[in-house]
Chains A and B, each alone.
Chain A
Amino acid sequence: MNIQFKKGVLELCVLSLLVRRDFYGYELVEYISRHINISEGTIYPLLRRFRTEGYVTTYLKESQEGPPRKYYKLTPWGLEVFNRLNVEWDDFTNSVNNILGEDI
């Protein structure tokens, strides 16, 4: 699958998780890689970009199991971006399904 496309879809997926609740890096990465076959190392740069572009903020939270974890939290702007990407995705998948399903 085209790499740019995959990256775009990955953005949508990560954002959709953060819409529901805050995540820390490791669990986000694990969740995504369970569903999509990608190197986990591609997600951290994505999260970093989310931070620099203002889609998310981060905070540290102590944990019993180990070191403090950096949590990612969606901003209102991030939510806006997610909604737009979501709409784009719906449009796209609908169009593709139309093409696939239509009798020529």
Chain B
Amino acid sequence: MERVEYINELTLSLKGIPSQDLADIIEDIQEHFDVGVSKGKTELEISKELGNPKEVARNYISSFEQYPKDEFNQDLSSDNKDTTRKVLVIIALFFFNILVVLAPFMLVWGLLLSFYAMSLGFFFSGLGILIGFPLTLIYTIINPHFLTRLGFGLGFVALGLLCLIAAVFLTIKLGKLTWLYIKWNISLL
């Protein structure tokens, strides 16, 4: 293609870059054409040797917009866009967690806590029946048969222990879920 067409295509493909940078780039390419022509080449030959202007533009954009981290340079890319996004995500998550997540979360953990309390209740009341402590107060009124006491006492103790085991199991599961949720929150950042 002719020089003018080449420059135009290049300029178009470089749309969006700062005007000073664009001017510098075009200046370089113009000089290349000038020198080439002064050495006897045709504009067609020169533009063919330079290659597709879109491709050239792509090379410019990838080499100066993105500053890759190599061993010699620090990462120079500005994190402005990324920081803004992160702040927005934090705000959104904050409101989401408070409005939607917090109440059910507390409910579930609260239930778990009461489950513990219940299992402890069973356990100790079972013990109490076995040992007979509270009943000594009303001993004269109620005197259950030894076997009844043994049965209920052991039963409640066992129930308490079983509930405790279940509670621990549930705590582990719920803990894992909570942790996963937290990690998901973090991963959005």
Which interface class (under 10, 10 to 19, 20 to 34, 35 or more) fits A? 20 to 34
* Cβ–Cβ < 8 Å partners of B175 in chain A: none
8 Å CB interface, B29-63 against A: 29, 31-32, 34-39, 49-53, 55-56, 59-60, 63
B25 contacts A48, C-beta separation under 8 Å? yes
Residue interface mask A26-65, B partner, CB < 8 A = 1: 1001000100000111101111110011000000000001
B24 contacts A44, C-beta separation under 8 Å? no
What's the count of A-B pairs with C-beta under 8 Å?
75
Residue interface mask A1-41, B partner, CB < 8 A = 1: 00000000000000000000000111001000100000111
A48 contacts B28, C-beta separation under 8 Å? yes
Query: What is B's interface to A at a CB cutoff of 8 Å?
Result: 24-25, 27-29, 31-32, 34-39, 49-53, 55-56, 59-60, 63-64, 71-73
Known contacts A40-B49, A41-B52; can you find 12 more A-B pairs with CB under 8 A?
Answer: A24-B35, A25-B31, A39-B50, A40-B50, A42-B55, A42-B56, A45-B60, A46-B59, A48-B25, A49-B63, A53-B73, A70-B28
